[in-house]
Chain A
Amino acid sequence: MGVLVLLALVLITVSFRGSADGVQSFGATVLRPFEVGAERVARPFRDAAGWTHDVLNAKSQNKKLERQVTQLQQQVVASQSAVQENADLKRQLAYVDSPSFQKLARDYDVVATRVISQPTSRFEQSIVIAAGRSQGLRVRDPVVTAKGLVGQVTKVFSRVARVTLLTDPGSAASASVLTDPSTIGVVQHGQGSEETLVLDRVPKAKPVRDGDVIVTSGSPAGGELPSLYPRGIQIGLVSSTGDSDTEPFKQIQIDPSVDYSSLQSVLVLVPKQPLPIRP
């Protein structure tokens, strides 16, 4: 028992210093086929659970979506003319843009991959994906799905990588309100369930309403501390806002666009020009 405890402590020390990456990479490679197999076996059960959940919520969701469609149809018309105007103005100004989610092909190589392990602990909200250094992945690469932001790559081995989710207590992303880009804050894990997110650091004077879309704010081109995430990736919708006399900022809760508990596949955005590493 004493020997095993000592061995475990040595492993923690070695792993914490990053010296055990080779051993862990080998172990992860050996386990990978089993994990992929287990994930395939588990998928029908997860789909069945998801289907049941969707059916139970279908009616209320339908009403909500009908309302959204009406609103969005009006927004599309306004957006189309704004996009055209924006493009014209940028051309006239020879504007140098920062990386943007809408221009993925220009700024990023996209690696689509399977999720082979879900978050197993309340402490670390992270998943393991079936792509690694061999596919060009690097630490700090942003990870998304079609629905929105998932998190960032935090550990890379030859054929697997660990992605820390945005819901991890140690994660954060600069974000803004889609319709008012000057309302900038930081999205991070909030109190409550694992998937609770909050938009922090938004001054009380800024108007934020329920249903507002929150997206990553990116960073100005050539900035000293560039954001890891490109501009315009959806994070979620504002579910509630509040002001408190004792708090200096608004209290904004976000309903995430991504269902972090049932991720099956993700897209890793590998920047064509890696971000500079700063001490």
Chain B
Amino acid sequence: MIGDAVKAGLLLFAAVLVQTGIFSALTVFGGSIDLPLVTLLCISLLRGSIFGAVAGFWAGLLLDTATLGTLGFTSLLLTVSGFWIGRYGETTARDRAHAPFLSVGVVTILYALGSLALHFFLGEPAPARAVLVDTLPPELALNLLLTVPVYALCRRLFPPAELSDRVREVRLLG
């Protein structure tokens, strides 16, 4: 568990640095990749709700610190995202190949809506048309494309719990 936490912490730290250094400057058809979000969702799917929530809080805190944004803003959104997808991973998503894509697709949309609402509540500019019409479709497509390599990497780093459970359940008879 501690090993997983260290690995997840480092992976999300690297994802935040890559996001602030490279991906945020690259826009394709007006949208850009959200690497920390995709990484978090893949980790949550493989490690469950509590792990996902804590990882989301950590990733959000790093992002807000790196960009000198409002502390806690991204943490709130990523904590909820991580918990929800972690719960999905613990229940209906087991052994379903489409689960990572479904998770990333749905959460990318909800994350954009959540950010918009939170900015609105805080009295900050919240350009709904620009976010939902101009940016969201390309961002959704890019995030779904990114899911393939990121999920593959996460599966290597965080092998599904069922496999290790099965190994532990082996009994010698006789």
Q: Which interface residue of B49, B50, B54, B119 has the most chain A CB atoms within 10 A?
A: B119
Assess whether B93 is interfacial by the CB under 8 Å rule: no
Measured in the bound complex, the distance between the Cα atoms of B63 and A123 in whole Å is 14
What per-residue 1/0 map shows which CB atoms of A1-21 lie under 8 Å from chain B?
100110111111111100010
Interface residues of B in 9-49 (CB under 8 A from A): 13, 17-22, 24-27, 30, 49
What per-residue 1/0 map shows which CB atoms of B50-70 lie under 8 Å from chain A?
100110110011111111111
Q: Are B119 and A9 in contact (CB under 8 A)?
A: no
Assess whether A149 is interfacial by the CB under 8 Å rule: no
Q: Are B21 and A8 in contact (CB under 8 A)?
A: no
Measured in the bound complex, the distance between the Cα atoms of B87 and A1 in whole Å is 11
Q: Are B125 and A168 in contact (CB under 8 A)?
A: yes
Assess whether A262 is interfacial by the CB under 8 Å rule: yes
Q: Are A262 and B25 in contact (CB under 8 A)?
A: yes
Size range of the chain A interface in the assembly? 35 or more
Interface residues of A in 169-223 (CB under 8 A from B): 169-170, 191-194
Question: Contacting chain B: which of A31-39, A242-250, A269-277?
Answer: A31-39
Q: Are B124 and A119 in contact (CB under 8 A)?
A: no
Q: With A5-B79, A8-B72, A12-B70 known to touch, is A170 a contact of B124 (CB < 8 Å)?
A: yes
Assess whether B88 is interfacial by the CB under 8 Å rule: no
Question: B50's contact among A1, A39, A126, by CB below 8 Å, is which?
Answer: A1
Q: Give the residue name and chain of the A residue nearest to B84 (CB).
A: A1
Question: A27's contact among B49, B65, B80, B134, by CB below 8 Å, is which?
Answer: B65
| Residues of the A chain whose Cβ atoms lie less than 8 Å from the Cβ of B62 | 31
Assess whether A231 is interfacial by the CB under 8 Å rule: no
Measured in the bound complex, the distance between the Cα atoms of B64 and A155 in whole Å is 13
Measured in the bound complex, the distance between the Cα atoms of B67 and A168 in whole Å is 15
Q: Are B75 and A11 in contact (CB under 8 A)?
A: yes
Shortest beta-carbon distance from B144 to chain A in Å: 18
Shortest beta-carbon distance from B139 to chain A in Å: 9
Q: Are A191 and B130 in contact (CB under 8 A)?
A: yes
Shortest beta-carbon distance from B15 to chain A in Å: 11
Question: A122's contact among B19, B49, B66, B135, by CB below 8 Å, is which?
Answer: B135
| Residues of the B chain whose Cβ atoms lie less than 8 Å from the Cβ of A139 | none
Assess whether A95 is interfacial by the CB under 8 Å rule: no
Measured in the bound complex, the distance between the Cα atoms of B139 and A56 in whole Å is 24
Q: With A34-B17, A193-B30 known to touch, is A28 a contact of B66 (CB < 8 Å)?
A: yes
Shortest beta-carbon distance from A228 to chain B in Å: 18
Q: Give the residue name and chain of the A residue nearest to B19 (CB).
A: A120
Assess whether B126 is interfacial by the CB under 8 Å rule: yes
Assess whether B122 is interfacial by the CB under 8 Å rule: yes
Q: With A12-B73, A118-B25 known to touch, is A155 a contact of B130 (CB < 8 Å)?
A: no
What per-residue 1/0 map shows which CB atoms of B106-118 lie under 8 Å from chain A?
0000000001100
Q: With A46-B22, A120-B20 known to touch, is A169 a contact of B125 (CB < 8 Å)?
A: yes
Assess whether B129 is interfacial by the CB under 8 Å rule: yes
| Residues of the A chain whose Cβ atoms lie less than 8 Å from the Cβ of B126 | 123
Q: Are A9 and B21 in contact (CB under 8 A)?
A: no
Measured in the bound complex, the distance between the Cα atoms of B58 and A203 in whole Å is 51
Given A15-B64, A42-B25: 15 more A-B contacts, CB < 8 Å: A1-B53, A4-B53, A12-B76, A15-B71, A15-B73, A20-B71, A23-B71, A28-B68, A34-B13, A121-B67, A122-B131, A124-B124, A155-B68, A157-B68, A261-B25
A-B contact pairs, 13 of them (CB 8 A): A1-B53, A8-B76, A11-B72, A15-B64, A15-B72, A28-B68, A38-B18, A39-B21, A122-B127, A123-B124, A123-B125, A128-B68, A160-B68
| B residues with CB within 8 A of A | 13, 17-22, 24-27, 30, 49-50, 53-54, 56-57, 60-73, 75-76, 79-80, 83, 115-116, 119, 122, 124-127, 129-131, 134-135
Give 5 closest A-B pairs by Cβ, nearest first. A11-B72, A169-B125, A38-B21, A8-B76, A15-B71
